[in-house]
Amino acid sequence: MKRRDFVAAAGAATLLGACGQTKDCATGEADASAQTQETINWTMATTWPPGFQGLGTGAEYLAEQINKLSNGRIKVKVYGAGELVPALQVFDAVSSGSVEMGHGASYYWKGKLPAASFFSSVPFGLNAQEMNGWLLKGGGLELWQELYAPYNLIPMPGGNTDIQMAGWFNKEINSMEDIKGLKMRIPGLGGEVLKRAGGTPELIAGGEIFSALEMGRIDAAEFVGPYNDLAFGFYKAAKYYYYPGWQEPGATLEAIINKDAMEQLPDDLQEIVRTACLVANTDMLAEFSQKNSEALKILVEEHSVELKKLPDDVLNRFKQISEELVAEQGEHDELSKRIYQSYLSFKGLSLEWRKISRSL
């Protein structure tokens, strides 16, 4: 700060000297301001493979928006999973201040914060539009920020994949018997549902899923949907592609910001960072809405992927387990209870509206 004060004082002295010799002091003032403006460099670590379409590129789009809206006053350099820190260490890296920003999904941290899953996706829960409604207008974001505050973090919605697929399977699922003993890559509360149904969930970073599936380390895997799954080539490692995405009906992604780094910014730059997150949130949902449709057609028509719907008895059992599990997430502490009650209340109202508004 002393160095900044010195630079500013030197710039001011130069300006005053110039004003004694020229009448164009207004221009000189603007020039001095530009010369003393300092570029703030931030680093963003993500849980996605470097440059991965939709998710990784969504993080890059967010960084570009911050740079653009700030007129270059903040520049954010993005690192993919493993380039700076491992995918599942992004939360800790931003919390400690090793990096200023992170991009991922809140359910990755459920081992640390069980209630974090509410802010990404809950099985049989809110869809993408409803998640935006709860977070931005229904009090969800305030609760999310309260949950992360002890970790020196400020979370913001930073994207949404819309509803996902149930996943890729190397064997057909005809009943609950086929779920027993099933080894599946599935994170968040969806993984807990699978476990209670008799399966074995595994948390594997996106870039490692294909090899695990191809080598038989796992029997099934869910990641996102057609857009990303096509890019990863999962159709080469598994025969059946199941729907619907009961486990993630509208997955919100998160931008997490180190609180100290944020508070060091002037007010206008803080607002720019928040606004850029909301812009990225909207843009990603639009991208997935377009690209999923295109990718699904390619998977079916060019790669002969076999689409299958999960049996009703399996979905009904998963839903029953999900309701029990989600209720338990609200029992950990007082804050978790408030988060659960807020989510449940918003979901109840949304379902009534959904029945009417989507009856065509």
- Could you report the per-residue pLDDT of 56-81, keeping only the tens digit for each? 999 999 999 999 999 999 999 999 99
pLDDT bin (cut points 50, 70, 90) of residue 33 is: very low
Query: What pLDDT score does 14 carry?
Result: 37
Query: What pLDDT score does 2 carry?
Result: 38
Query: What pLDDT score does 118 carry?
Result: 94
Q: Is 324 exposed, middle or buried (0-12, 13-18, 19+ CB in 10 A)?
A: exposed
Does 130 score more than 70 pLDDT?
yes
Query: What pLDDT score does 359 carry?
Result: 61
Q: 118 vs 4, which has greater pLDDT?
A: 118
Please give the single-letter amino acid code of residue 263. E
Q: What is the mean pLDDT of the chain?
A: 89
Does 315 score more than 60 pLDDT?
yes
Query: What pLDDT score does 360 carry?
Result: 63
Q: How far apart are CA 53 and CA 326, in angstroms?
A: 31
Q: 127 vs 205, which has greater pLDDT?
A: 127
pLDDT bin (cut points 50, 70, 90) of residue 329 is: confident
Does 99 score more than 90 pLDDT?
yes
Torsion of CA 52, 283, 98, 223, to 10 degrees: -40
**pTM of the prediction?**
0.84
Candidate from 19-28, 74-83, 121-130, 158-167 with smallest mean pLDDT: 19-28
Q: How far apart are CA 306 and CA 252, in angstroms?
A: 28
Query: What pLDDT score does 257 carry?
Result: 98
Q: How far apart are CA 182 and CA 165, in angstroms?
A: 17
% pLDDT > 90, the chain: 78
Query: What pLDDT score does 189 carry?
Result: 87
Does 35 score more than 70 pLDDT?
no
Query: What pLDDT score does 3 carry?
Result: 38
Domains with residue ranges and CATH for the chain: 167-249+295-328 (3.40.190.10)
Please state the rounded mean pLDDT for residues 215-241.
94
How confident is the model over 152-205, as pLDDT tens digits? 999 999 999 999 999 999 999 999 999 999 999 998 889 999 999 999 999 887
For 221, phi then psi, to 5°, come to -160, 140
Query: What pLDDT score does 32 carry?
Result: 38
Query: What pLDDT score does 353 carry?
Result: 85
Query: What pLDDT score does 187 carry?
Result: 84
